[in-house]
Structure 1
């Protein structure tokens, strides 16, 4: 080995040592366990996070756990088997009123709507008197209660008393509507979008009803739910997850190609996929948390009046801390 080669060799060794001693290994990504329904729409965002490693970008590892029902995800959350689930702020407030420390980060303001077939003679809620209406979610469903409140406020119409109400699961009611067995159907937003792509249109959305009853904007219907204590103990984990969620939403808002990639997950294609994409984008939250909370407080009072203690529990107002603040 020549003198030049020896000097180069020693320089490389010294450089490697300097780099080795001068840097530290980055900390391992913290795992965040997220419990969701196996075929729920939240999976579209979570799939986007994992596909593009947006969780790794923000120092976390999102571990998706699938459950068969919303009740099962709630039980898993209360048992500590998952760190985050998705549900509504009404449930969070009820739990806080009972002593739990759950809190809510807005996920989506996409909501259901009363759908009627194209060409239907029904032009407003007033025309639903005496009609057969399918309602997903049961008698205490928030959208149904808000729709009742809107009908009374705007048209002095008592929908449960003056119409024929049929309760059922979202897919069953969507099928019955397409078969012409219902005059109108109030369904979850994604089933409404599929109906919209197949010969139906919105008569009035839950968001329209909420605004008529005092909301100043589109209120996030569902959000990511977790315990305050967990967030306090894992500040980097919750911050990283929220950032990954926002990045995924930004991609889903801007990229039509990403929706083509998701087609097999969404289980739609063509025009139906386009409508689902557009309705999802409509529901991406973009309001200050203070505005979300103020509107939720107004709607809570209305829902408490319409649904009573069976719906909201012992709390007469939205529980403090229901909406999470990063500070």
Structure 2
């Protein structure tokens, strides 16, 4: 009699539990550019179910440009975007609560045509240089400083910088309308596939100026308030990002699967984009990332001043999200 009663009770419990609604996973809305490189990692997370595995639901919000992602984040229409830690530090200095998790250390480089006689930064004197990112781009500022230090050349006045959108500058470089171009890493890789040579990178400049070149250039940005309210989901997001990067680092087959999203012109371009992406996967411990960023920040204070960094004289406390150290 006792055994039968227990059996009925157990069956009733199973039926009751099965009738309860499932607990919905936290949704994390990530703002992305339609053809941005962040989409490659996001697609890996989706395709391999890494969001579900790590306890969150990934939702992508497509926008037209980087400025729109910042507006979307600050307006509450997105939870996470990709930007640089310099902007995050400035926001924190001005009273904001944004924080940062490294995404990539891949940086732009000065590219020159295959037959170019330009061998160093000093040779850029009198040359036309396409520059993406504007006059206050970190890499452009550091490369100017390195050219002054090593060759006594002021590229801002002794060369002819031409500022423009990355795709346009890449096209003009490919058509031979520029003597050199400083562009974002993926456009540099596309030029490299066409035979262009990497003359000097932002990392080279940081190292030459004593700041080191290991800090991630861009990363995932979100608010402390969101991270506090969704701590487990954000740690899961970081873990999923790391797992996706490991897939991208080790699997050539995954890059073949991503071909329709990467949209390379040919196999050679896909291979270079793959290899440059892999080189940019952050591997440094969090403490080392912060130390490198502090050194680069000091350079930005010197080179860009308040126009670039705002009133902060040093990297703002909390710029790097401490919770990422616990993400598994």
| Alignment correspondent of 1:321 | 318
Instruction: Please list, as runs of the form range in 1=range in 2, the aligned pairs for 1:179-198 lying within 5 A after superposition.
Output: 179-198=175-194
| Alignment correspondent of 2:92 | 96
Counterpart CA distance in 2 for 1:127 and 1:72 is 38
Counterpart CA distance in 2 for 1:13 and 1:63 is 43
Counterpart CA distance in 1 for 2:67 and 2:195 is 33
Residue 16 of structure 1 deviates from its aligned partner by 5.3
Gaps of 5+ in 2: none
Contact kept in structure 2, 1:131 and 1:164, CA below 8 Å: yes
Gaps of 5+ in 1: 1-8
Contact kept in structure 2, 1:207 and 1:219, CA below 8 Å: no
Counterpart CA distance in 2 for 1:148 and 1:129 is 11
| Alignment correspondent of 2:269 | 272
Residue 28 of structure 1 deviates from its aligned partner by 2.2
| Alignment correspondent of 1:146 | 142
Contact kept in structure 2, 1:214 and 1:295, CA below 8 Å: no
| Alignment correspondent of 1:171 | 167
Instruction: Please list, as runs of the form range in 1=range in 2, the aligned pairs for 1:56-135 lying within 5 A after superposition.
Output: 56-135=52-131
Contact kept in structure 1, 2:186 and 2:273, CA below 8 Å: yes
Secondary structure of 1:133's aligned partner? strand
Residue 173 of structure 1 deviates from its aligned partner by 1.0
2:236 paired with 1:240: yes
2:223 to 213, 224, 227: 227
1:160 to 156, 163, 180: 156
Residue 216 of structure 1 deviates from its aligned partner by 3.5
Residue 300 of structure 1 deviates from its aligned partner by 0.9
Residue 21 of structure 1 deviates from its aligned partner by 7.1
Secondary structure of 1:149's aligned partner? helix
2:200 to 193, 199, 204: 204
Contact kept in structure 1, 2:212 and 2:296, CA below 8 Å: no
Counterpart CA distance in 2 for 1:195 and 1:11 is 72
Instruction: Please list, as runs of the form range in 1=range in 2, the aligned pairs for 1:304-319 lying within 5 A after superposition.
Output: 304-319=301-316
Contact kept in structure 2, 1:146 and 1:206, CA below 8 Å: yes
Residue 15 of structure 1 deviates from its aligned partner by 7.2
Residue 14 of structure 1 deviates from its aligned partner by 7.9
Contact kept in structure 1, 2:142 and 2:206, CA below 8 Å: yes
Secondary structure of 1:294's aligned partner? helix
Q: Which has the larger radius of gyration?
A: 1
| Alignment correspondent of 1:29 | 25
TM-score relative to the length of structure 1 = 0.92
Contact kept in structure 2, 1:88 and 1:223, CA below 8 Å: yes
Structure 1 stretch displaced more, 95-104 or 308-317: 308-317
| Alignment correspondent of 2:300 | 303
Residue 22 of structure 1 deviates from its aligned partner by 8.5
| Alignment correspondent of 1:52 | 48
Residue 230 of structure 1 deviates from its aligned partner by 1.1
Contact kept in structure 2, 1:118 and 1:201, CA below 8 Å: yes
Contact kept in structure 1, 2:130 and 2:163, CA below 8 Å: yes
Secondary structure of 1:32's aligned partner? strand
Rate the CA distance shift 1:18–1:183 in 2: closer, same or farther, 3 A: same
Contact kept in structure 2, 1:112 and 1:186, CA below 8 Å: yes
Residue 119 of structure 1 deviates from its aligned partner by 2.5
